[in-house]
Amino acid sequence: MKKISDRIFYVGVNDDDKALFEGLWPLPYGVSYNSYLVVDEKVALIDTVECGFEEEYLDEIREAIGEKPVDYLVVNHMEPDHSSLISLICAAYPDVKIVVNAKTVPMIKGYHGTPEERLLVVGEGDTLSLGTCSLNFYMAPMVHWPETMVTWLPEEKTVFSGDAFGTFGAVADDPTDEEGLFEQYRDEMIRYYSNIVGKYGVPVQTALKKLSALPVERICSTHGPVWKECAFDVVALYDRMSRYEVERGVCIVYGSMYGNTAAAADALAMELEKRGIPYAIHDLACNNAGELGVSGALRDVFKYDTIVVGSPTYNNGIFPPVETFMNALQARLIKGRRFYAFGSYTWAPASVRLLNERAAAMGFELLGEGLPFPQAYTEQKCDMSKLADLLA
Ligand code: FEO
């Protein structure tokens, strides 16, 4: 437990054991599931945590409020990383009322069999008094599920924002930020956004507009630090990402079976390096320890304006790990990117043509016909120097 202010206590947990968030996204620095107590004449708990932390979680809560009961459990978001321990809270605090909105009702019944009489259904702008302070509720659909809402505590100028402004990465014992912490989390925040919320740029923009009417001084998200000193930087980054705004630079993404497409990718990286062009390179087949695969590639697609994709021709199609990446781009409605494709083939050059077709369908600007090359990579067959000049 950590005291955030006179009324707010952090009772979240760090998960350093889980390898893949949502079963998909690597967690090299862990992740936190944040939960908060607002302690007044009444006690409100904002969201719960993932299962596996039952004992630790109840201990944290009891450390903050002793034998006092939890009067309200506010469910901002029903994804199980935040809702798994709802039943535990109901068992520990039999009189707790669960504060939800209408869209949450079928989900909480379906996941937990929660009876109707336990639910307190709130709508846009509704207020719940806790005594000397009050909670206000604002809907934020699709940030990240349709039932998502945020909770505003005006007396503390604090927003409990759900997944919005969240990041991968465990938090320190004192989760409140200090100057400069944002830079430490910046890359993991972009990766979190691009992996989890990236499809929902328009709803994030809508939520940001709504929040801009509030004098927010503290952001209590469900993942990552409590943002106070760095709140401005965090909001600015989410604003840029949800507009799909990027800087000039190249995200090289490739898969390779026998190293020829990989050699071409490395050659391009070297040429970009020589020219001082910002770039990132990702091996989707994850041949090296620590590779983030699609997860890391998506992060850098949200940073840079140019995507260069390498795929060998495989079964007369795109190499499957690269196809997965293209599907991920499409799912996130990425727009406004320059695109170029390359890759090795042995007898039929299909992959580059198919990659170009997919990129064109997503509205990307094709920078050329691409560079399919037969069999082994050589500089003569696949001139990455020329391509680097084109990308500059
Ligand atoms: Fe962290 Fe959408 O749950």
- Ligand 1 centroid to residue 239 C-alpha, Å: 19
- Ligand 1 centroid to residue 263 C-alpha, Å: 38
Supply φ then ψ for residue 113, to 5 degrees: 60, 30
Look at the block and give the residue holding tokens 């000039």: 248
Q: What is the pTM of this model?
A: 0.96
Tens digits of residue pLDDT in 61-92: 999 999 999 999 999 999 999 999 999 999 99
How many residues in the chain?
392
- Ligand 1 centroid to residue 54 C-alpha, Å: 18
Residue 353: its pLDDT value, please? 98
- The residue among 282, 279, 302 whose CA lies nearest residue 292 is 282
Residue 72: its pLDDT value, please? 98
- Copy the structure tokens of residue 136: 């206000």
- For 31-56, b/e burial (b = at least 16 CB within 10 A) is bbbbbbbbbbebbbbbbbbbeebeee
299 SS3 class: helix
Closest ligand 1 atom to Cα of 144: 2
Do 230 and 88 lie in one domain? The reply is yes
Closest ligand 1 atom to Cα of 166: 1
- Copy the structure tokens of residue 270: 């070297």
Domain containing residue 371: 248-391
Closest ligand 1 atom to Cα of 33: 1
Supply φ then ψ for residue 199, to 5 degrees: -70, -20
- Distance between CA 353 and CA 338 in Å, rounded? 16
Do 200 and 259 lie in one domain? The reply is no
Closest ligand 1 atom to Cα of 162: 1
- Ligand 1 centroid to residue 188 C-alpha, Å: 15
Residue 384: its pLDDT value, please? 96
Residue 285: its pLDDT value, please? 87
Do 292 and 328 lie in one domain? The reply is yes
- Ligand 1 centroid to residue 339 C-alpha, Å: 31
Do 121 and 157 lie in one domain? The reply is yes
- Copy the structure tokens of residue 263: 């050699």
Do 151 and 274 lie in one domain? The reply is no
Do 203 and 151 lie in one domain? The reply is yes
- Distance between CA 234 and CA 160 in Å, rounded? 14
Q: For residue 3, how far is the Cα from the chain centroid?
A: 26
CA distances from 208 to 57, 78, 202, 234, 329 (A): 31, 21, 10, 12, 23
- Ligand 1 centroid to residue 51 C-alpha, Å: 14
Tens digits of residue pLDDT in 94-116: 999 999 999 999 999 999 999 99
- Ligand 1 centroid to residue 15 C-alpha, Å: 14
Which among 242, 268, 288 is the end of a domain? Answer: 242
Instruction: Tell me which DSSP letter residue 155 carries.
Output: G
Strands 8-10, 36-39: pairing is antiparallel
Do 220 and 263 lie in one domain? The reply is no
**Other beta carbons less than 10 A from residue 70's beta carbon:** 20
- Copy the structure tokens of residue 31: 């992740």
Look at the block and give the residue holding tokens 């200090």: 178
Do 142 and 283 lie in one domain? The reply is no
Amino acid at the residue 159: V
Sign, CA torsion 123/202/28/288: positive
Residue 21, beta-bridge partner list: 25
Which among 210, 225, 242 is the end of a domain? Answer: 242
CATH of the domain at 32: 3.60.15.10
Supply φ then ψ for residue 94, to 5 degrees: -60, -20
User: For the chain, which residues score pLDDT lower than 50?
Assistant: none
Tens digits of residue pLDDT in 330-356: 999 998 999 999 999 999 999 999 999
CA distances from 108 to 82, 116, 352 (A): 12, 10, 46
Do 114 and 253 lie in one domain? The reply is no
Counting the structural domains of the chain, the total is: 2
64 SS3 class: helix
Do 175 and 272 lie in one domain? The reply is no
Do 297 and 203 lie in one domain? The reply is no
CATH of the domain at 279: 3.40.50.360
Which among 242, 258, 278 is the end of a domain? Answer: 242
Closest ligand 1 atom to Cα of 148: 2
Instruction: Tell me which DSSP letter residue 200 carries.
Output: G
CA distances from 227 to 39, 70, 160 (A): 20, 25, 11
Residue 45: its pLDDT value, please? 98
Helix (H) or strand (E) holding 111: helix 104-112
Residue 286: its pLDDT value, please? 76
Show the ligand 1 pocket: residues with CB < 6 angstroms: 77, 79, 81-82, 144, 163, 222-223
- Copy the structure tokens of residue 143: 């940030």
Do 178 and 324 lie in one domain? The reply is no
- Give the residue, by CA position, lying nearest to ligand 1 atom 3: 79
